[in-house]
Amino acid sequence: GIMENPLIKPAALENTHQDGPHPQAEEPYYLPFGDEVSIFTQCHRRHLAVMLKGPTGCGKTRFVEHMAWRMKRPLIIVSCHDDLTAADLVGRFLIRDNATIWQDGPLTRAVRVGAICYLDEVVEARQDAVVVIHPLTDYRRVLPIDKTGELIEATPGFQLVISYNPGYQHVTKDLKPSTRQRFVALDFDFPPPEREAEIVIHESGAQPAVAYDLVALGGRIRGLADRGLAEVPSTRLLVATARLIANGIPPRLACHVALVSPLSDDPALVAAMRDLVDATLLD
């Protein structure tokens, strides 16, 4: 087969995954919105793969971190992108000291150690990468590695979790029905105001009054989706803004740099958002 350039690939691989949190780490804070904790727990026990549907920044990653902690399993996260290939997930041959060695990819490591493997935005990945997960989602729970001829049976505790942002994908990029049907789907969305404020307070250390203002503002800006705002403010953006304010940045300035400007370059939309900031904040 073709050898990969050993100088480039290990670094590239490091960017595609991260390990953690460790099973014994502190509980990741997660505020549930419904039955998702008990449903996920059952899926984990019954060896069912799970799909988390919902917009960016609404708590999907945090939920998986929390569930990995509850299930006492290591968590391996892979952020998928449009260059991500099957080899990036499964592994590849590298040349080290004139010898050819096999290096497991993050999915293979997860299968071997019985980790929860979270493929974030899996629809972005190339089709060959999406296809390698199929045999892991049926009753066999195996990962065939073509390049080495290995067929690895998933260690108990292994679980595949993918995320998917329904509104976001290009029409040409969608999960195939044959892939979708392999998952139990949990629907995520931005939390109702009371809960979102609770999250913002917990995550930022901001005063409750600040959090409530930001959540109200976030709700109003989300209303601009009808007027062409492609990306609406996520809970993550509200948390970031609240952190700046909690650390002494004046609220209006914090909103402009952390909330308004990241969302759009369109002068009319920016002006509309700034008006909402001025109308909402009482500083």
Cβ(106)–Cβ(117) below 8 Å: yes
Q: What's the min distance (Å) between Cβ of 199 and ligand ADP?
A: 5
- Look at residues 242, 277, 282 and name the one whose alpha carbon lies nearest to residue 256: 277
61 binds ligand ADP (CB under 6 A): yes
235 binds ligand ADP (CB under 6 A): yes
Cβ neighbours of residue 202 closer than 8 Å, sequence gap 6 or more: 29, 31
Judged by CB under 6 A, the stretch of 17-25, 56-64, 79-87, 207-215 that binds ligand ADP is 56-64
219 binds ligand ADP (CB under 6 A): no
Question: CA-CA distance, 283 to 250, in Å (whole number)?
Answer: 9
Instruction: Give the amino acid at 77.
Output: I
Among 4, 16, 31, 231, binds ligand ADP (CB under 6 A): 31
Judged by CB under 6 A, the stretch of 60-68, 72-80, 87-95, 270-278 that binds ligand ADP is 60-68
Could you say which residues in the range 142-181 bind ligand ADP, by CB under 6 A?
none
Among 89, 119, 199, 244, binds ligand ADP (CB under 6 A): 199
Question: CA-CA distance, 35 to 263, in Å (whole number)?
Answer: 31
- Evaluate the CA torsion angle 49, 50, 56, 62 in order and state its sign: negative
Cβ(197)–Cβ(211) below 8 Å: yes
104 binds ligand ADP (CB under 6 A): no
264 binds ligand ADP (CB under 6 A): no
DSSP structural state of residue 59: S
Q: Which residues contact ligand ADP (rule: CB under 6 A)?
A: 29-31, 56-62, 199, 203, 235-236, 239
